[in-house]
Amino acid sequence: MKNHLKPLLPGLKRMTRKNKGRIKTQPMKKFFFLLFIILFPALGFCQHSYPADKEAPPTMEDLFSVKETFRYEVKYGPFKLGWVNVEMLSDSIYWDQERHHILTEIESNPSIPFVGDELDQFHSLFYVNDEGLPVEVKYWKDNVDEKEFNEIEYWFDRDIGKVYYKEEDNTRDTLDLEDPATSGHLIFYFSRLFAGSDEDFKLPVYVTKKKGYIFADNSLETEKRNYAPFDGPIQAYKLIGSTKNIEGPFGFSGDFKAWFLADDLRVPLEARVKVLWGNVIVRMIEYTREDL
């Protein structure tokens, strides 16, 4: 085994048995999910075809005006850990009300030791509140490769101010709700409402049986960067963030950085999270946009 991968092995080797003796790599699955919710809170000379003359960040109405698909590569040093795919699905009816539906799909790299083929899907139903912010109604995880659907579920009841959850170990409990409440991957849209501004934010996140926070400091400054979907360098806004009461794997310190395209929709480009032995990088490799 390559020496560069050895620091990851303590986390990868912690396995639990489930469903008639099947081995399940729980730490790696939580690693990918926690990375995603943490990382995406992640034009002078510009080689892209999207409008860039809008100084203010987008609204949720702006983001709903297009159909986007995203694909990211997740790397630790020279090692490719997997991929993250994000898209907005068709609206759904939940409790007789129309809700927006976002899907985050995480694929592992089967060549990484102790991982194998893992495919998890994370769903959120949400709406936009009176302040123009996306707030969650229901979140659930489908463990597709294990054929365990609704493995994790969180429900957000604003009538009584409570969050109910069922975790993958089948434990259930109730937490106090704080808006704008989310179970994590709505940060993908929430963060775009502030990128490229001087407005910072704090986002309550309900994950792994408790409430935590993501804090983000935004900037008006841009820097030149390169990404596969764009021809030549583009300008990007940078976000610097941290977390509280969100436990990350492999010595995650709580600090991260993210970059957003300096365009009209502040497309999430990249994020870097500090772990005990370096940085994990989530970087865009594919992007499509279609006006609706």
CB distance 15 to 25 below 8 Å: yes
Task: Assess whether pLDDT exceeds 60 at residue 10.
Answer: no
14 pLDDT band (50/70/90 cuts)?
very low
Task: Assess whether pLDDT exceeds 70 at residue 111.
Answer: yes
Please report, for the chain, the start and end positions of each structural domain, with discontinuous segments joined by +. Answer: 25-291
The whole-model pTM stands at 0.84
Percentage of the chain modeled with pLDDT above 90: 68
Q: Where are the beta strands (DSSP E) in 25-118?
A: 66-76, 79-94, 97-108
pLDDT tens digits along 39-52: 555 433 445 778 77
CB distance 238 to 257 below 8 Å: yes
Average pLDDT over residues 73-96: 94
Residue 21, pLDDT score: 41
Q: What's the chain's Rg over C-alpha atoms? A: 19
CB distance 283 to 75 below 8 Å: yes
Residue 138, pLDDT score: 97
SS3 269: strand
Task: Assess whether pLDDT exceeds 60 at residue 157.
Answer: yes
Residue 7, pLDDT score: 37
Task: Assess whether pLDDT exceeds 70 at residue 18.
Answer: no
Total residues belonging to the chain: 292
Residue 46, pLDDT score: 45
Amino acid letter, 52 = A
Respond yes or no on whether the N-terminal peptide bond of residue 180 is cis (omega within 30° of 0).
yes
Percentage of the chain modeled with pLDDT above 70: 80
Task: Assess whether pLDDT exceeds 60 at residue 140.
Answer: yes
